[in-house]
Chains A and B, each alone.
Chain A
Amino acid sequence: MITGIVGAVFVLQYFIPHWPFSKMNAWFSDWFSIVAAFAIWLGALNLMKISAQKVVGRKEDWGYALVIIFSFLLIVIPGFAGGQGYREAGTFFSWLYEWAYTPLSSTMFAILAFFVASASYRAFRARNLEASLLLIAAFFVMLGRVPVGDILTGFMPVGWRLSDLASWVMNYPQAAGQRAIMIGIALGLVSTSLRIILGIERSHLGGE
């Protein structure tokens, strides 16, 4: 019931942006912001709970669980102790952000570059017409979006070089495909949202 009322208010306030819907919209947005924060807290605290259970029960890899708890406290303590200026330049919190959090998170994603390349070698095959089209579009874009593409097609007249072709592919056929996907997804989301608001879809509450 909560779901239905809240959802309906958000829909109604779009069509009737006046009292009481405008006020309710403001309240609900504020609440959402706070609940969202608590939801992320829940995630962090749950991680601590699981890690602590691992350490206490001396389960496999409990040493790493201890490292998780230790590094959590390492950043949380100066974060809370630092008051409102906790992340200003020069604080230990900002030091950790710049020299531990940044390299770790960036490298996590950076190594994906290697796996993308290895997957291209193993799985990217021109098996049929569709796959070949995919491959050609990828080539155009990969070459055309970096200066090397124009060096390779320097003999072509201006306007027909790889960068121009890549631009055309991105702005027209690619944009058309994206739009079809976008509309398709929107249709799906709109109908699912409607089902949720009307109470037909309730799986999010734990499957009844």
Chain B
Amino acid sequence: MEHIAVWVAAFLTLGIVSFLYKDNPWYKLSESIFVGISAGYWFVVLFWDNVHGKFWTGVFPPEEYDAAGNVITKDPDWMLWIGALLGILMLARLVPKFGWISRWPLAFIVGSTAGLYLINYFSSNMMRQVQGTIMPLFGMWQTDPATGEVMFQAFSTYDVVGNLVILIGTFTGLVYFFFSKEHRGVFGATAKVGIFFLMITFGASFGYTVMSRMSLLIGRVDFLFGTWLGLIK
């Protein structure tokens, strides 16, 4: 069985790799298997973890016992039926005639996402980031725990420069995103500095993307030459 397993995996791996040469039947076969298996995988896992694990056990709680062996009765959570009903309405999409019904669950999904995003992005990605940018630049007044004396603790040059870079970079970058005013004069120059910072960001992101993609390839090479052919220690 172990031999079959590695050969199946190697066959499928090479099938996808063969796409690098050109599109071919081996690739298409592997791709179709991938599509089918991955859809099936999600289907099964969602059934057991969600529909069964959450909905079914919530509505019909199974008998549970505490340490002493007494039965713990849990009240069924009837509200979950509404969730299931919305979910089933979602499946109405499969029948073109009743497709419009799926707008209700869709409205629910969009509404909850909008509500949660409004708060999350506002607090974490805006307020907290602004807060993180406006910080002491050169040092902080701190109380010495031993003597109780309030002393000025200066930052190192490295930190001061870093904090300044963060401040300038964030500010100018935001100025660049401000499209309601024409980028001219002082405003334009500031936006230009912003572009420089954004370019560094994109460059770093590109570097990290290369890093990521190469890592994935390395993982597959380890499988082919290590697990399969046994050439790697």
Contact = CB atoms under 8 A, between A and B. Distances in A.
In the complex, A touching B, CB below 8 Å?
A: yes
A113 to B, nearest CB: 4
Given A114-B20, A184-B174, 7 more contacts: A32-B109, A44-B42, A93-B44, A114-B217, A130-B199, A138-B203, A179-B133
Q: Is the interface of A mostly helix, strand, loop or mixed?
A: helix
20 contacts: A7-B114, A27-B79, A38-B86, A42-B90, A64-B32, A86-B44, A102-B9, A110-B219, A114-B20, A138-B204, A138-B206, A173-B200, A176-B173, A176-B197, A180-B173, A180-B194, A185-B125, A196-B110, A197-B115, A205-B107
A11 B204 contact: no
Contacts of A14: 119
Interface residues of A, number: 120
B203 A111 contact: no
Contacts of B206: 134, 138
Interface string A1-16: 1111111111100100
Contacts of A2: 104, 107-108, 111
B161 to A, nearest CB: 8
Interface string A108-151: 11111110110010000000001101111111111001100000
A52 to B, nearest CB: 12
A177 B121 contact: no
Nearest to B176: A180
Top 7 closest pairs, chain A to chain B, by CB: A176-B169, A180-B173, A10-B115, A177-B201, A137-B203, A71-B36, A38-B87
